[in-house]
A and B are shown apart, each in its own frame.
Chain A
Amino acid sequence: MSVKDMTHHIANYRKIFVFLLIGTALTVAASYMEFNVQNSIAGAVFVGLTIAAIKGYLVAANFMHLNSEKKIIHWILLLTVFFLSLLLFIPLLWDLNLMSHY
């Protein structure tokens, strides 16, 4: 990579840093807000985790260079996300199983 490329990278890292700080402030703010939905805490959880997911994407795409990484890495991560989703859905399956008994 040339020095010019690196200078461009540095400017980008600074921008991402600012976005992450704004995201952190928004997450904290969201936890204090009352959401006009049936279950306010569920609204806060949804907003909080959405912001966290965006922040996570910014870190992975920019600091971990996933936006310019090789295809094999993307495939490894895609497979990981598939199994992770399965793992996170296990509690839901548990609930569905309980509901079927009522």
Chain B
Amino acid sequence: MEIPYNVQVREDTGLYNSKLGIWLFLASEVMLFGGLFSAYILLRTGAPVWPPIGEHGSIMHILKETIPHATFNTVVLIASSVTMVMAWVSLKMKDLRKFRIYLGTTLLCALVFLIVKYFEYSHKIHEGFVPSHDTYMALYFTLTGLHVLHIIGGMIVLGYFFGPGIKMWDNEPERFTNRIEIVGLYWHFVDLVWIFLFPILYLLN
């Protein structure tokens, strides 16, 4: 049995089903990150010094060192958003070769982001700034860790469409294009979250 409204839009919503689904999912994601942002505001406004000073002193000197890495990662993630939307545009223009190039670049950007994050985490942990050090570090690891999990989740889905999932293009090109639009919406959301995490965790302390 064929699943309805994969390609054609419903009359009542004016959307194909998975598009409505992803927006509802993203709304729940906003609330997930929103709860953590709320915790950040509560802990920051309640702290006499921010970031708090713990057993190994203040994280400030390491934070200043990592600003160039975090800025680089911001540029990488913004670039990945552009390549993601260009991958969708390529499919709309029926150019599968360009689609592969753009989606591959998006995946590469995601990998670069994770590698930089790995070095950043290693440096902080090596200096003793672990989540239990102070409330800033706890928030830092929770927020960026959750964001990294979203990046990894996105990479798995993107990897599927770059590899075996691309077969759908041969038989159902419109449905495949819609799938890329959906994963693109998720990817842009991940970029959007980082746009807010970057200033609050790295710059405005």
A residues in contact (CB < 8 Å) with B: 1, 3, 6, 9-10, 13-14, 16-17, 20-21, 24, 27-28, 30-31, 41, 44-45, 48-49, 51-52, 55-56, 59-60, 63-64, 70-73, 76-77, 79-80, 83-84, 87-88, 90-91, 94-95
Contacts and interface: CB of A to CB of B under 8 A. Distances in A.
Interface centre among B89, B185, B199 (most CB of A within 10 A): B199
Given A1-B92, A24-B71, A27-B203, A13 B27 contact: no
Contact of A83 (B31, B86, B203): B31
Nearest to A70: B14
Interface residues of B, number: 44
Given A41-B204, A63-B81, A94-B42, A73 B199 contact: no
Interface centre among B184, B191, B192 (most CB of A within 10 A): B192
B162 interface: no
A6 B89 CA distance: 7
A51 B203 CA distance: 13
Nearest to A1: B92
Contact of A13 (B75, B86, B92): B86
B203 A77 contact: no
B125 interface: no
B188 A59 contact: yes
Contact of A88 (B34, B81, B198): B34
Nearest to B189: A64
Nearest to A72: B13
B81 A59 contact: yes
Given A13-B85, A83-B31, A64 B188 contact: yes
A35 to B, nearest CB: 12
Contacts of B31: 80, 83-84, 87
A30 to B, nearest CB: 8
A80 B38 contact: no
B45 A52 contact: no
Contacts of B185: 64
A25 B41 CA distance: 24
A20 B20 CA distance: 27
Contacts of A1: 92
Given A13-B85, A64-B185, A59 B15 contact: no
